[in-house]
Structure 1
Amino acid sequence: MSVSGSSSKVRLMAMFVLLFALFSSQSSAAQVPLLMWSSEGLPPLASPAAGHITSNAQLTAYLTSAFGSGPNTVLLFLQDKLSKEDFTLFGGVFGNKQDSAFPNLEAALQASPSSVSLPALEWSDSSVILTLLQEELDVSPVLVDADTLSHLSINTSASNLLLINLPYCTGLGKSCKEVLHENDGIIGEALSIMKDKGVHFTAMYTGLQPSRVIPERSMSQQAVGRSLLQAVEPTVKEPIMFNVTGNPCIMLWVQNLNISLTGEWIDLAAQTPSLDGSICNDSYSLLVLTYASGYTLRFAMRQRFYKVSARNWFTLDSVQLQSKDLTASYIGSRNIYAPAEYSFHCQSVTSFRDTLLVPSSTNNKNSTKWRLNFVDFQIQGFGLANGTNFSYASDCAGFFTAGIWMGLITSLLMLWIFVYGMHMIMQLNTMDRFDDPKGPSISVPQTE
Structure 2
Amino acid sequence: MARPSYCSSFISMAFIAFFVAFFASGSATAQVPLLMWSSDRLPPLASPTAGHITSNDQLSLYLTSAFGSGSHTVLLFLQDKLSKDDFTVYGGVFGNKQDSVFKNLEAAQQSSSSSVTLPALEWSDSSAILTSLQDKLGVSPLLVDADTLSHLSINTSVSNLLLINLPYCSGSHRSCNEVLRNNDEIIGKVMSIIKTKNVPYTAIYTGLQPSRVISETPMSNQPVGRTLLQADIPDVSPPIMFNQSGSPCIMLWAQNLNVSLSRSDPWIDLRTQTPTLTGSMCNGTSSLLVLQYATFRLSFSMTRRFYAVSARNWFTLDFVELQTNGQTETFIGSGSIYAPAEYSFHCQSVTSFQDPLLISNNKNSTQWRLSFTDFQIQGFGLANGTNFSYASDCASFFTPAIWMGLLTALLMLLILVYGLHMIMQVNTMDRFDDPKGPSISVPQSE
Instruction: Give your verdict on TM over 0.5.
Output: no
Which bin holds the TM-score, normalised by the shorter protein?
0.3 to 0.5
Q: Which has the higher contact order (CA 8 A, sep 6+)?
A: 2
